[in-house]
Structure 1
Amino acid sequence: MFDSAFFSPVEPNLAAALRLLFIEFAVGLVSAFALGQLGFPVEPVLIAMSLLNLWVAWHLAKSAKAMGKNAILYGAVSALLPGFALFAYFQLRQHELLTALDRE
């Protein structure tokens, strides 16, 4: 059975980071495609995604600190690239996802 609670993290900063990551990827992909089709350079979209990724990294660092993990490490790694931020998100959410899967 589909359980929507499986997709929403318990930690509020982790949920905010996921929402921002989704917005970052969706808007970045659509904007890059639209600008590319119109003949404009795509680099401003990449810069905007990098700036938004700093906000995601801040939320991931706060979430790591709330979980008792190294906030500087998670924040610094996720600030580098959006893919690293997604990796850090799943590293922080790993225990919660595994316990939810074991209950089913």
Structure 2
Amino acid sequence: MNSIPRNGLRVVSADFPPAELVEVHVLDLLDGPTAQELADLEAESPVIVAGLDVLDVEIALIDRTSVSEFDARRLRRARRRLIAAELAVYGLATDMPSLRAVA
């Protein structure tokens, strides 16, 4: 594998006049996420996990010819956990109307 020089690469395109060369430091692009980006991901991890749980249930139901009451309950509970995680992480907007079930 060729090593990338630390001083970066010069990207030359026929679309640019020679006076407008763009210098790209490839190693800067490969540094990875910043500390703030990692903290944001960590804060959002409950939503990600709950979303993956819903996906797991939905994948399990794909091949089924009929869905049992247990399967439906499992999917409803996974979706409720996802909604609860979203509310806990993102909060509830104050301008949104709250819905209430009535009989």
TM-score, with structure 1 as normaliser: 0.42
Higher strand share: 2
Structure of higher RCO (CA pairs closer than 8 Å, 6+ residues apart): 1
TM-score, with structure 2 as normaliser: 0.42
Higher helix share: 1
